Amino acid sequence: MRGRRSVKTSSRSSVSWKEISRQARLRFGIEQFWPGQAELIQHAIAGRDAIGILPTGGGKSLCYQLPALFLDGVVVVVSPLIALMQDQHEHLAEADIYAARLDSTVPARKVRQEEAALRRGDRRIVLLTPERLANPDNLAFLGRQRVALIVVDEAHCVSIWGHDFRPAYLELRHAIEQLGRPPVLALTATAPPDRLDDILTQLGIPDAHIVQGSIDRDNLIFEVSRTVNRQEKEKRLLSLVGRGDEPGIVYAATVRCVNELHEWLVSRGVRAARYHGQLRAAEREQAQGQFMSGELPVMVATSAFGLGVDKPDVRWVAHWNFPDSLDSYYQEAGRAGRDGDPARCVLLYRLEDRRIRRFFLAGKHPHEAELRKFLQTLRSVSANAGVTIERLVAATGLNEKRVRVIAAELEKRHVLSRHGALRRLARAMSDAEIESFVGSFENSVRADEERLRTMMDYAESTRCRVQFLREYFGELPGAPCQRCDNCRRPVRPRRRIAAQRVAPVPGETSGPQPYREHQLVSHDRFGTGEVVQVSGDEVEVAFARYGQRRVLAGYLRPAPAA
Protein backbone atom coordinates (compact mmCIF):
# COMPACT_ATOMS: atom_id res chain seq x y z
CA MET A 1 0.00 0.00 0.00
CA ARG A 2 2.74 2.45 -0.87
CA GLY A 3 3.43 4.95 -3.62
CA ARG A 4 1.29 7.81 -4.96
CA ARG A 5 -2.41 7.15 -5.06
CA SER A 6 -5.47 9.32 -5.41
CA VAL A 7 -8.49 8.61 -3.29
CA LYS A 8 -11.80 10.29 -3.97
CA THR A 9 -13.37 11.73 -0.83
CA SER A 10 -17.09 11.74 -0.07
CA SER A 11 -17.47 15.48 -0.43
CA ARG A 12 -14.08 17.07 -1.03
CA SER A 13 -11.67 17.07 -3.91
CA SER A 14 -9.37 14.06 -4.16
CA VAL A 15 -6.53 13.71 -1.70
CA SER A 16 -3.26 12.02 -2.48
CA TRP A 17 -2.03 8.94 -0.70
CA LYS A 18 1.17 10.87 -0.04
CA GLU A 19 -0.78 13.38 2.07
CA ILE A 20 -2.61 10.60 3.91
CA SER A 21 0.72 8.96 4.74
CA ARG A 22 2.17 12.31 5.83
CA GLN A 23 -0.66 12.88 8.29
CA ALA A 24 -0.25 9.33 9.62
CA ARG A 25 3.39 10.11 10.42
CA LEU A 26 2.70 13.60 11.74
CA ARG A 27 -0.29 12.83 13.93
CA PHE A 28 0.22 9.22 14.94
CA GLY A 29 3.92 8.52 14.36
CA ILE A 30 3.08 5.73 11.91
CA GLU A 31 5.63 4.92 9.23
CA GLN A 32 4.01 1.75 7.90
CA PHE A 33 0.41 0.54 7.94
CA TRP A 34 -0.66 -2.81 9.32
CA PRO A 35 -2.26 -5.24 6.83
CA GLY A 36 -5.77 -4.07 5.98
CA GLN A 37 -5.46 -0.58 7.45
CA ALA A 38 -4.65 1.25 4.23
CA GLU A 39 -7.47 -0.48 2.35
CA LEU A 40 -10.04 0.45 4.98
CA ILE A 41 -8.77 4.04 5.17
CA GLN A 42 -9.18 4.39 1.42
CA HIS A 43 -12.74 3.09 1.49
CA ALA A 44 -13.68 5.40 4.37
CA ILE A 45 -12.30 8.47 2.60
CA ALA A 46 -13.97 7.43 -0.66
CA GLY A 47 -17.33 7.15 1.09
CA ARG A 48 -17.91 3.42 0.59
CA ASP A 49 -19.33 0.94 3.10
CA ALA A 50 -16.70 -1.42 4.53
CA ILE A 51 -16.17 -3.86 7.33
CA GLY A 52 -12.72 -4.48 8.77
CA ILE A 53 -11.92 -7.70 10.61
CA LEU A 54 -8.48 -7.06 12.03
CA PRO A 55 -6.77 -8.89 14.92
CA THR A 56 -6.75 -7.44 18.41
CA GLY A 57 -4.03 -4.83 18.55
CA GLY A 58 -4.20 -4.48 14.76
CA GLY A 59 -4.87 -0.74 14.73
CA LYS A 60 -8.60 -0.62 13.95
CA SER A 61 -9.09 2.87 15.41
CA LEU A 62 -6.71 4.45 12.91
CA CYS A 63 -9.07 3.35 10.13
CA TYR A 64 -11.52 6.11 11.10
CA GLN A 65 -9.27 8.52 12.99
CA LEU A 66 -7.13 9.25 9.93
CA PRO A 67 -10.04 9.61 7.45
CA ALA A 68 -11.67 12.11 9.83
CA LEU A 69 -8.96 14.60 8.81
CA PHE A 70 -10.05 14.48 5.17
CA LEU A 71 -13.83 13.98 5.22
CA ASP A 72 -16.15 16.95 4.74
CA GLY A 73 -18.33 16.38 7.77
CA VAL A 74 -18.30 14.74 11.16
CA VAL A 75 -17.47 11.09 11.85
CA VAL A 76 -19.94 9.47 14.28
CA VAL A 77 -18.31 6.63 16.24
CA VAL A 78 -20.52 4.17 18.12
CA SER A 79 -18.64 2.40 20.93
CA PRO A 80 -19.94 -0.11 23.49
CA LEU A 81 -18.21 1.28 26.58
CA ILE A 82 -17.65 4.69 28.08
CA ALA A 83 -14.14 3.59 29.11
CA LEU A 84 -13.37 2.83 25.47
CA MET A 85 -14.58 6.27 24.39
CA GLN A 86 -12.52 7.95 27.09
CA ASP A 87 -9.42 6.12 25.89
CA GLN A 88 -10.11 7.05 22.27
CA HIS A 89 -10.79 10.66 23.22
CA GLU A 90 -7.39 10.91 24.92
CA HIS A 91 -5.55 9.37 21.98
CA LEU A 92 -7.28 11.76 19.57
CA ALA A 93 -6.31 14.74 21.70
CA GLU A 94 -2.68 13.61 21.58
CA ALA A 95 -2.96 13.61 17.77
CA ASP A 96 -4.50 17.13 17.78
CA ILE A 97 -7.81 15.82 16.48
CA TYR A 98 -10.79 17.42 18.19
CA ALA A 99 -13.55 15.01 19.21
CA ALA A 100 -16.78 15.39 21.14
CA ARG A 101 -17.89 12.86 23.75
CA LEU A 102 -21.63 12.62 24.32
CA ASP A 103 -22.06 10.12 27.15
CA SER A 104 -23.64 9.94 30.57
CA THR A 105 -20.45 10.98 32.37
CA VAL A 106 -20.29 14.34 30.57
CA PRO A 107 -22.08 17.17 32.46
CA ALA A 108 -25.03 18.81 30.67
CA ARG A 109 -23.17 22.12 30.43
CA LYS A 110 -20.23 20.40 28.71
CA VAL A 111 -22.59 18.58 26.34
CA ARG A 112 -24.08 21.93 25.26
CA GLN A 113 -20.59 23.28 24.65
CA GLU A 114 -19.67 20.24 22.54
CA GLU A 115 -22.89 20.56 20.52
CA ALA A 116 -22.11 24.22 19.85
CA ALA A 117 -18.61 23.25 18.70
CA LEU A 118 -20.10 20.63 16.37
CA ARG A 119 -22.43 23.23 14.83
CA ARG A 120 -19.42 25.47 14.19
CA GLY A 121 -17.54 22.58 12.58
CA ASP A 122 -14.88 22.53 15.32
CA ARG A 123 -15.22 18.80 16.03
CA ARG A 124 -14.28 16.11 13.54
CA ILE A 125 -15.43 13.08 15.54
CA VAL A 126 -18.37 12.35 17.84
CA LEU A 127 -18.03 9.45 20.30
CA LEU A 128 -21.19 7.95 21.80
CA THR A 129 -22.80 4.68 22.89
CA PRO A 130 -25.56 2.96 20.89
CA GLU A 131 -28.05 4.00 23.60
CA ARG A 132 -27.11 7.64 23.14
CA LEU A 133 -27.37 7.36 19.36
CA ALA A 134 -30.84 5.81 19.65
CA ASN A 135 -32.02 8.76 21.77
CA PRO A 136 -34.42 10.84 19.59
CA ASP A 137 -32.93 14.17 20.72
CA ASN A 138 -29.39 13.08 19.83
CA LEU A 139 -30.56 11.67 16.51
CA ALA A 140 -32.35 14.91 15.69
CA PHE A 141 -29.28 16.98 16.59
CA LEU A 142 -26.88 14.80 14.56
CA GLY A 143 -29.36 14.78 11.69
CA ARG A 144 -28.90 18.55 11.39
CA GLN A 145 -25.12 18.12 11.04
CA ARG A 146 -23.23 16.85 8.03
CA VAL A 147 -22.45 13.23 8.93
CA ALA A 148 -19.70 11.96 6.60
CA LEU A 149 -19.19 8.50 8.13
CA ILE A 150 -20.71 6.26 10.78
CA VAL A 151 -18.31 3.90 12.52
CA VAL A 152 -19.52 0.88 14.48
CA ASP A 153 -16.59 -0.07 16.70
CA GLU A 154 -16.47 -3.58 18.17
CA ALA A 155 -19.09 -4.52 15.58
CA HIS A 156 -19.37 -8.11 16.81
CA CYS A 157 -21.58 -6.67 19.57
CA VAL A 158 -24.25 -6.18 16.90
CA SER A 159 -24.54 -9.94 16.45
CA ILE A 160 -24.08 -11.29 19.98
CA TRP A 161 -27.28 -11.53 21.96
CA GLY A 162 -26.59 -12.70 25.49
CA HIS A 163 -27.95 -12.37 29.02
CA ASP A 164 -26.34 -8.94 29.17
CA PHE A 165 -27.46 -7.97 25.66
CA ARG A 166 -28.06 -4.29 24.87
CA PRO A 167 -31.12 -3.84 22.63
CA ALA A 168 -29.88 -0.44 21.41
CA TYR A 169 -27.63 -2.33 18.98
CA LEU A 170 -30.77 -3.44 17.16
CA GLU A 171 -31.62 0.22 16.53
CA LEU A 172 -28.39 1.05 14.71
CA ARG A 173 -29.78 0.36 11.26
CA HIS A 174 -32.70 2.73 11.94
CA ALA A 175 -30.34 5.40 13.25
CA ILE A 176 -28.16 5.11 10.14
CA GLU A 177 -31.25 5.58 7.95
CA GLN A 178 -32.46 8.58 9.95
CA LEU A 179 -29.06 10.24 9.56
CA GLY A 180 -29.43 10.12 5.79
CA ARG A 181 -27.69 6.78 5.23
CA PRO A 182 -24.06 7.97 5.28
CA PRO A 183 -21.27 5.45 4.56
CA VAL A 184 -20.71 2.88 7.29
CA LEU A 185 -17.43 1.46 8.57
CA ALA A 186 -17.76 -1.57 10.88
CA LEU A 187 -14.72 -2.75 12.83
CA THR A 188 -14.14 -5.91 14.84
CA ALA A 189 -11.46 -8.43 15.70
CA THR A 190 -13.64 -11.50 15.20
CA ALA A 191 -16.34 -12.40 12.71
CA PRO A 192 -16.65 -16.00 11.52
CA PRO A 193 -18.77 -16.34 8.35
CA ASP A 194 -22.17 -16.63 10.07
CA ARG A 195 -21.46 -13.67 12.37
CA LEU A 196 -20.22 -11.61 9.43
CA ASP A 197 -23.44 -12.17 7.50
CA ASP A 198 -25.49 -11.15 10.53
CA ILE A 199 -23.47 -7.95 11.07
CA LEU A 200 -23.94 -6.93 7.44
CA THR A 201 -27.69 -7.58 7.69
CA GLN A 202 -28.19 -5.88 11.04
CA LEU A 203 -26.39 -2.74 9.86
CA GLY A 204 -28.07 -2.72 6.44
CA ILE A 205 -24.77 -2.84 4.53
CA PRO A 206 -25.06 -6.09 2.52
CA ASP A 207 -22.65 -4.92 -0.19
CA ALA A 208 -19.94 -3.57 2.10
CA HIS A 209 -16.34 -4.17 1.09
CA ILE A 210 -14.84 -6.78 3.42
CA VAL A 211 -11.24 -6.53 4.61
CA GLN A 212 -10.28 -9.57 6.63
CA GLY A 213 -6.87 -10.00 8.21
CA SER A 214 -5.54 -13.18 9.73
CA ILE A 215 -6.49 -13.90 13.33
CA ASP A 216 -3.04 -15.36 13.93
CA ARG A 217 -0.71 -13.45 16.24
CA ASP A 218 2.57 -15.30 16.49
CA ASN A 219 3.38 -14.10 20.02
CA LEU A 220 0.29 -15.70 21.60
CA ILE A 221 0.69 -19.17 23.12
CA PHE A 222 -2.64 -20.99 23.39
CA GLU A 223 -3.00 -23.66 26.06
CA VAL A 224 -5.79 -25.72 27.63
CA SER A 225 -5.32 -27.00 31.16
CA ARG A 226 -7.82 -29.76 31.85
CA THR A 227 -8.87 -29.97 35.48
CA VAL A 228 -11.15 -32.40 37.29
CA ASN A 229 -12.12 -30.33 40.33
CA ARG A 230 -11.87 -26.85 41.82
CA GLN A 231 -8.74 -27.62 43.82
CA GLU A 232 -6.91 -28.62 40.65
CA LYS A 233 -8.11 -25.45 38.93
CA GLU A 234 -6.90 -23.30 41.79
CA LYS A 235 -3.52 -25.00 41.71
CA ARG A 236 -3.15 -24.37 37.96
CA LEU A 237 -4.24 -20.75 38.31
CA LEU A 238 -1.77 -20.04 41.11
CA SER A 239 0.96 -21.60 38.99
CA LEU A 240 0.08 -19.21 36.17
CA VAL A 241 -0.18 -16.15 38.41
CA GLY A 242 3.16 -16.95 40.04
CA ARG A 243 4.27 -14.14 42.30
CA GLY A 244 1.68 -11.86 40.75
CA ASP A 245 4.27 -9.47 39.31
CA GLU A 246 3.33 -9.93 35.64
CA PRO A 247 0.10 -8.26 34.47
CA GLY A 248 -2.65 -10.75 33.73
CA ILE A 249 -6.43 -11.12 33.48
CA VAL A 250 -8.61 -13.90 34.88
CA TYR A 251 -12.01 -14.15 33.19
CA ALA A 252 -14.93 -15.83 34.96
CA ALA A 253 -18.49 -16.40 33.78
CA THR A 254 -20.48 -14.89 36.65
CA VAL A 255 -20.31 -12.03 39.11
CA ARG A 256 -20.39 -14.49 42.01
CA CYS A 257 -17.44 -16.40 40.59
CA VAL A 258 -15.45 -13.18 40.11
CA ASN A 259 -16.06 -12.15 43.72
CA GLU A 260 -15.07 -15.58 45.07
CA LEU A 261 -11.94 -15.84 42.92
CA HIS A 262 -10.86 -12.31 43.78
CA GLU A 263 -11.24 -12.97 47.51
CA TRP A 264 -9.37 -16.27 47.21
CA LEU A 265 -6.44 -14.78 45.26
CA VAL A 266 -6.11 -11.86 47.65
CA SER A 267 -6.12 -14.26 50.61
CA ARG A 268 -3.07 -15.90 49.04
CA GLY A 269 -1.16 -12.67 48.72
CA VAL A 270 -1.93 -11.90 45.08
CA ARG A 271 -2.35 -8.20 44.33
CA ALA A 272 -5.61 -8.41 42.40
CA ALA A 273 -8.47 -6.11 41.41
CA ARG A 274 -11.97 -7.13 40.36
CA TYR A 275 -14.34 -5.82 37.71
CA HIS A 276 -17.95 -6.65 36.87
CA GLY A 277 -21.18 -4.90 35.96
CA GLN A 278 -22.68 -4.92 39.45
CA LEU A 279 -19.95 -2.71 40.89
CA ARG A 280 -20.57 1.01 41.10
CA ALA A 281 -19.06 3.05 38.28
CA ALA A 282 -16.53 4.60 40.66
CA GLU A 283 -15.41 1.15 41.83
CA ARG A 284 -14.99 -0.09 38.27
CA GLU A 285 -13.04 3.01 37.32
CA GLN A 286 -10.77 2.64 40.34
CA ALA A 287 -10.14 -1.05 39.63
CA GLN A 288 -9.31 -0.37 36.01
CA GLY A 289 -6.96 2.47 36.98
CA GLN A 290 -5.13 0.27 39.49
CA PHE A 291 -4.70 -2.45 36.88
CA MET A 292 -3.56 -0.10 34.13
CA SER A 293 -1.00 1.59 36.40
CA GLY A 294 0.38 -1.72 37.64
CA GLU A 295 -0.58 -1.06 41.25
CA LEU A 296 -2.69 -4.26 41.09
CA PRO A 297 -1.21 -6.38 38.29
CA VAL A 298 -3.94 -9.06 38.28
CA MET A 299 -7.53 -8.36 37.22
CA VAL A 300 -10.37 -10.81 37.92
CA ALA A 301 -13.34 -9.92 35.74
CA THR A 302 -16.41 -10.90 33.79
CA SER A 303 -16.55 -10.26 30.05
CA ALA A 304 -17.59 -6.67 30.91
CA PHE A 305 -13.87 -5.90 31.25
CA GLY A 306 -11.61 -5.61 28.26
CA LEU A 307 -13.12 -3.52 25.50
CA GLY A 308 -11.22 -0.25 25.50
CA VAL A 309 -8.48 -1.54 27.79
CA ASP A 310 -5.32 -0.97 25.80
CA LYS A 311 -2.68 -2.30 28.19
CA PRO A 312 0.12 -3.60 25.96
CA ASP A 313 2.08 -5.61 28.54
CA VAL A 314 -0.57 -8.14 29.64
CA ARG A 315 1.51 -11.32 29.84
CA TRP A 316 -1.27 -13.82 30.32
CA VAL A 317 -5.03 -14.24 30.11
CA ALA A 318 -6.70 -17.12 31.93
CA HIS A 319 -10.29 -18.30 31.54
CA TRP A 320 -11.63 -19.85 34.74
CA ASN A 321 -14.79 -20.90 32.86
CA PHE A 322 -14.92 -21.49 29.15
CA PRO A 323 -16.83 -18.81 27.18
CA ASP A 324 -19.97 -19.36 25.12
CA SER A 325 -18.08 -19.42 21.81
CA LEU A 326 -14.67 -19.19 20.20
CA ASP A 327 -15.61 -15.65 19.14
CA SER A 328 -15.79 -14.57 22.78
CA TYR A 329 -12.74 -16.59 23.73
CA TYR A 330 -10.50 -15.09 21.05
CA GLN A 331 -11.71 -11.54 21.81
CA GLU A 332 -10.81 -11.95 25.48
CA ALA A 333 -7.63 -14.00 25.05
CA GLY A 334 -6.42 -11.50 22.46
CA ARG A 335 -6.03 -8.83 25.14
CA ALA A 336 -2.72 -10.46 26.01
CA GLY A 337 0.59 -9.53 24.42
CA ARG A 338 -0.37 -6.42 22.49
CA ASP A 339 3.22 -5.24 22.80
CA GLY A 340 4.30 -8.14 20.57
CA ASP A 341 6.15 -10.03 23.30
CA PRO A 342 5.20 -13.63 24.13
CA ALA A 343 2.01 -14.04 26.17
CA ARG A 344 0.01 -17.05 27.36
CA CYS A 345 -3.70 -17.64 26.75
CA VAL A 346 -4.77 -20.43 29.11
CA LEU A 347 -8.20 -22.06 29.28
CA LEU A 348 -8.82 -23.85 32.58
CA TYR A 349 -11.21 -26.47 31.27
CA ARG A 350 -13.57 -28.46 33.44
CA LEU A 351 -16.41 -30.23 31.67
CA GLU A 352 -18.81 -29.38 34.47
CA ASP A 353 -18.56 -25.69 33.54
CA ARG A 354 -20.79 -26.31 30.54
CA ARG A 355 -23.77 -26.17 32.92
CA ILE A 356 -23.18 -22.44 33.44
CA ARG A 357 -23.17 -21.78 29.72
CA ARG A 358 -26.24 -23.90 29.11
CA PHE A 359 -28.04 -21.96 31.83
CA PHE A 360 -27.27 -18.71 30.02
CA LEU A 361 -28.31 -20.18 26.66
CA ALA A 362 -31.66 -21.28 28.10
CA GLY A 363 -32.62 -17.67 28.80
CA LYS A 364 -30.95 -16.01 25.86
CA HIS A 365 -33.62 -16.25 23.17
CA PRO A 366 -37.40 -15.67 23.36
CA HIS A 367 -39.44 -18.82 23.89
CA GLU A 368 -42.19 -19.98 21.54
CA ALA A 369 -44.95 -18.84 23.91
CA GLU A 370 -43.42 -15.35 24.10
CA LEU A 371 -43.20 -15.09 20.31
CA ARG A 372 -46.82 -16.10 19.82
CA LYS A 373 -47.99 -13.71 22.54
CA PHE A 374 -46.09 -10.87 20.89
CA LEU A 375 -47.62 -11.54 17.47
CA GLN A 376 -51.11 -11.96 18.90
CA THR A 377 -50.81 -8.67 20.77
CA LEU A 378 -49.49 -6.91 17.68
CA ARG A 379 -52.42 -8.11 15.60
CA SER A 380 -54.92 -6.84 18.13
CA VAL A 381 -53.50 -3.31 18.47
CA SER A 382 -56.00 -0.71 17.33
CA ALA A 383 -55.26 0.88 13.98
CA ASN A 384 -55.44 4.28 15.68
CA ALA A 385 -52.95 3.37 18.36
CA GLY A 386 -49.26 4.00 17.84
CA VAL A 387 -47.07 0.92 18.09
CA THR A 388 -44.23 1.69 20.46
CA ILE A 389 -41.90 -0.52 22.44
CA GLU A 390 -43.37 0.82 25.65
CA ARG A 391 -46.93 -0.03 24.54
CA LEU A 392 -45.89 -3.55 23.51
CA VAL A 393 -44.10 -4.13 26.82
CA ALA A 394 -47.24 -3.09 28.73
CA ALA A 395 -49.59 -5.14 26.53
CA THR A 396 -47.54 -8.36 26.42
CA GLY A 397 -46.11 -8.36 29.92
CA LEU A 398 -42.72 -9.28 28.44
CA ASN A 399 -39.56 -7.47 29.49
CA GLU A 400 -38.21 -4.73 27.27
CA LYS A 401 -35.22 -6.72 26.01
CA ARG A 402 -37.48 -9.53 24.82
CA VAL A 403 -39.82 -7.11 23.04
CA ARG A 404 -36.99 -5.28 21.29
CA VAL A 405 -35.35 -8.51 20.16
CA ILE A 406 -38.60 -9.89 18.70
CA ALA A 407 -39.52 -6.60 17.04
CA ALA A 408 -36.07 -6.16 15.53
CA GLU A 409 -35.99 -9.71 14.20
CA LEU A 410 -39.44 -9.27 12.66
CA GLU A 411 -38.35 -6.05 11.00
CA LYS A 412 -35.05 -7.50 9.81
CA ARG A 413 -36.65 -10.49 8.16
CA HIS A 414 -39.15 -8.31 6.32
CA VAL A 415 -36.84 -5.36 5.61
CA LEU A 416 -38.91 -2.87 7.56
CA SER A 417 -37.55 0.42 8.79
CA ARG A 418 -40.10 1.53 11.38
CA HIS A 419 -42.04 0.00 14.24
CA GLY A 420 -45.22 1.50 12.76
CA ALA A 421 -45.09 -1.09 10.00
CA LEU A 422 -45.10 -3.96 12.50
CA ARG A 423 -48.85 -3.96 13.05
CA ARG A 424 -49.57 -4.08 9.31
CA LEU A 425 -47.07 -6.90 8.90
CA ALA A 426 -48.47 -8.96 11.79
CA ARG A 427 -51.97 -8.75 10.35
CA ALA A 428 -50.76 -9.70 6.88
CA MET A 429 -48.68 -12.69 7.98
CA SER A 430 -50.13 -16.07 7.09
CA ASP A 431 -50.15 -18.95 9.55
CA ALA A 432 -47.29 -20.51 7.59
CA GLU A 433 -45.25 -17.31 7.85
CA ILE A 434 -45.88 -17.15 11.58
CA GLU A 435 -44.70 -20.73 12.00
CA SER A 436 -41.62 -19.95 9.93
CA PHE A 437 -40.87 -16.91 12.09
CA VAL A 438 -41.24 -18.90 15.31
CA GLY A 439 -39.01 -21.61 13.85
CA SER A 440 -36.31 -19.08 12.99
CA PHE A 441 -35.64 -18.54 16.69
CA GLU A 442 -35.29 -22.27 17.19
CA ASN A 443 -32.58 -22.15 14.51
CA SER A 444 -30.83 -19.40 16.46
CA VAL A 445 -30.89 -21.54 19.60
CA ARG A 446 -29.38 -24.47 17.69
CA ALA A 447 -26.70 -22.18 16.25
CA ASP A 448 -25.72 -21.04 19.75
CA GLU A 449 -25.61 -24.62 20.96
CA GLU A 450 -23.35 -25.48 18.04
CA ARG A 451 -21.00 -22.61 18.96
CA LEU A 452 -20.83 -23.93 22.49
CA ARG A 453 -20.04 -27.44 21.20
CA THR A 454 -17.30 -25.97 19.02
CA MET A 455 -15.84 -24.23 22.07
CA MET A 456 -15.76 -27.58 23.86
CA ASP A 457 -14.27 -29.26 20.78
CA TYR A 458 -11.46 -26.69 20.88
CA ALA A 459 -10.82 -27.49 24.54
CA GLU A 460 -10.70 -31.23 23.92
CA SER A 461 -8.87 -31.18 20.58
CA THR A 462 -5.41 -32.71 20.25
CA ARG A 463 -4.57 -30.81 17.05
CA CYS A 464 -2.80 -27.47 16.74
CA ARG A 465 -4.97 -24.88 18.48
CA VAL A 466 -4.06 -22.08 16.08
CA GLN A 467 -5.07 -24.25 13.12
CA PHE A 468 -8.39 -24.87 14.89
CA LEU A 469 -8.90 -21.11 15.35
CA ARG A 470 -7.92 -20.27 11.78
CA GLU A 471 -10.46 -22.70 10.36
CA TYR A 472 -13.22 -21.48 12.67
CA PHE A 473 -12.72 -17.89 11.54
CA GLY A 474 -12.82 -18.85 7.88
CA GLU A 475 -9.10 -19.09 7.10
CA LEU A 476 -7.06 -21.92 5.69
CA PRO A 477 -5.53 -23.96 8.53
CA GLY A 478 -1.95 -23.43 7.37
CA ALA A 479 1.00 -25.04 9.11
CA PRO A 480 0.96 -25.97 12.81
CA CYS A 481 1.95 -23.04 15.00
CA GLN A 482 4.63 -25.02 16.92
CA ARG A 483 3.94 -22.97 20.05
CA CYS A 484 0.57 -24.09 21.48
CA ASP A 485 0.41 -26.86 24.07
CA ASN A 486 -0.64 -29.50 21.53
CA CYS A 487 2.24 -28.65 19.19
CA ARG A 488 4.78 -28.65 22.02
CA ARG A 489 3.47 -31.79 23.72
CA PRO A 490 1.61 -33.96 21.20
CA VAL A 491 -1.05 -36.10 22.85
CA ARG A 492 -1.12 -39.77 21.95
CA PRO A 493 -4.44 -41.06 20.61
CA ARG A 494 -6.81 -42.50 23.16
CA ARG A 495 -6.75 -46.27 23.50
CA ARG A 496 -8.58 -48.84 25.52
CA ILE A 497 -6.69 -49.73 28.67
CA ALA A 498 -5.79 -53.39 29.20
CA ALA A 499 -4.60 -52.99 32.76
CA GLN A 500 -5.15 -55.42 35.60
CA ARG A 501 -8.42 -55.03 37.47
CA VAL A 502 -8.17 -53.17 40.77
CA ALA A 503 -8.92 -55.12 43.88
CA PRO A 504 -12.39 -54.50 45.32
CA VAL A 505 -12.55 -52.01 48.16
CA PRO A 506 -13.30 -53.81 51.47
CA GLY A 507 -17.02 -53.84 52.16
CA GLU A 508 -17.95 -53.27 48.49
CA THR A 509 -19.14 -55.83 46.00
CA SER A 510 -16.87 -56.75 43.14
CA GLY A 511 -17.69 -55.91 39.54
CA PRO A 512 -18.43 -52.68 37.66
CA GLN A 513 -19.70 -49.67 39.63
CA PRO A 514 -22.77 -47.65 38.47
CA TYR A 515 -20.90 -44.45 37.65
CA ARG A 516 -22.54 -41.19 36.52
CA GLU A 517 -21.40 -38.08 34.63
CA HIS A 518 -19.18 -35.63 36.56
CA GLN A 519 -18.44 -38.22 39.27
CA LEU A 520 -14.84 -38.32 40.47
CA VAL A 521 -13.22 -41.72 40.05
CA SER A 522 -9.81 -43.23 40.71
CA HIS A 523 -7.64 -45.49 38.53
CA ASP A 524 -4.49 -47.29 39.73
CA ARG A 525 -2.41 -46.09 36.78
CA PHE A 526 -3.98 -42.78 35.74
CA GLY A 527 -4.98 -41.35 39.11
CA THR A 528 -8.09 -39.22 39.71
CA GLY A 529 -10.42 -38.33 36.87
CA GLU A 530 -13.90 -37.04 36.07
CA VAL A 531 -16.53 -39.21 34.37
CA VAL A 532 -17.49 -37.75 30.98
CA GLN A 533 -19.82 -40.44 29.66
CA VAL A 534 -21.02 -43.93 30.61
CA SER A 535 -21.85 -46.55 27.98
CA GLY A 536 -22.66 -49.96 29.47
CA ASP A 537 -19.58 -51.17 31.32
CA GLU A 538 -17.33 -48.68 29.52
CA VAL A 539 -16.64 -45.30 31.07
CA GLU A 540 -15.15 -42.22 29.36
CA VAL A 541 -12.96 -40.47 31.94
CA ALA A 542 -11.00 -37.19 31.79
CA PHE A 543 -7.78 -37.68 33.73
CA ALA A 544 -5.83 -34.61 34.85
CA ARG A 545 -2.49 -35.85 33.48
CA TYR A 546 -3.42 -38.34 30.77
CA GLY A 547 -6.36 -36.68 29.03
CA GLN A 548 -9.61 -38.38 28.10
CA ARG A 549 -9.66 -42.19 27.96
CA ARG A 550 -12.21 -45.00 27.72
CA VAL A 551 -11.82 -47.74 30.35
CA LEU A 552 -13.84 -50.62 31.73
CA ALA A 553 -15.84 -49.72 34.83
CA GLY A 554 -14.22 -52.56 36.73
CA TYR A 555 -10.86 -50.81 36.61
CA LEU A 556 -12.28 -47.78 38.44
CA ARG A 557 -13.40 -46.99 41.96
CA PRO A 558 -15.19 -43.92 43.35
CA ALA A 559 -12.93 -41.12 44.54
CA PRO A 560 -13.78 -38.77 47.42
CA ALA A 561 -15.76 -35.74 46.22
CA ALA A 562 -13.79 -32.47 46.16
Q: Which of 476, 131, 156 has the alpha carbon at shortest distance from 323?
A: 156
* Alpha-carbon dihedral sign for residues 195, 197, 202, 204: positive
**Which of 10, 5, 8, 72 is CA-nearest to residue 47?**
10
SS3 state at 458? helix
- Tell me what percent of the residues of the chain surpass a pLDDT of 70: 85
Helices (H), 347-430: 354-362, 368-380, 389-396, 400-413, 420-428
To the nearest 10°, report the CA torsion of 46, 47, 52, 56: 80
The ranges assigned to domains in the chain are 6-212, 220-359, 365-449, 492-562
Banded model confidence at residue 441, pLDDT cuts 50, 70, 90: confident
What CATH number does the domain located at 6-212 have?
3.40.50.300
Q: What is the pLDDT of residues 21-62, one digit of tens each?
A: 999 998 888 888 888 899 999 999 999 999 999 877 668 889
* pLDDT, tens digit (0-9, with 9 covering 90-100), for 300-327: 999 888 766 778 899 999 999 988 889 8
Segment 443-464 shows an average pLDDT of 85
Q: What is the percent of the chain where pLDDT is above 90?
A: 31
Strand partners, 558: 521
Tell the CATH topology of 492-562: SH3 type barrels. (2.30.30)
d(CA 502, CA 556): 7
What's the order of all strands across the beta sheet hosting 520-523?
547-552, 538-543, 527-535, 520-523, 556-558
CA distance 117 to 392: 39
Amino acid at 79: S
- List pLDDT tens digits, range 518-529: 788 888 767 778
pLDDT value at residue 223:
97
Which amino acid belongs to residue 134?
Answer: A
pTM of the model as a whole: 0.72
Beta-bridge partners for 211? 52
Measured CA to CA, the distance from residue 74 to residue 345 in angstroms comes to 39
Report the alpha-carbon distance of residue 37 to residue 63 in Å, rounded.
6
Q: Where are the alpha helices (DSSP H) in 473-512?
A: 485-488
The CATH code belonging to domain 220-359 is: 3.40.50.300
220-359 shares its CATH topology with 492-562? no
Percent helix, strand and coil across the chain, each to the nearest 5: 45, 15, 40
Distances (CA, A) of 507 to 33, 86, 138, 510, 516: 72, 67, 75, 9, 21
Read off the pLDDT band of 491 (50, 70, 90): low
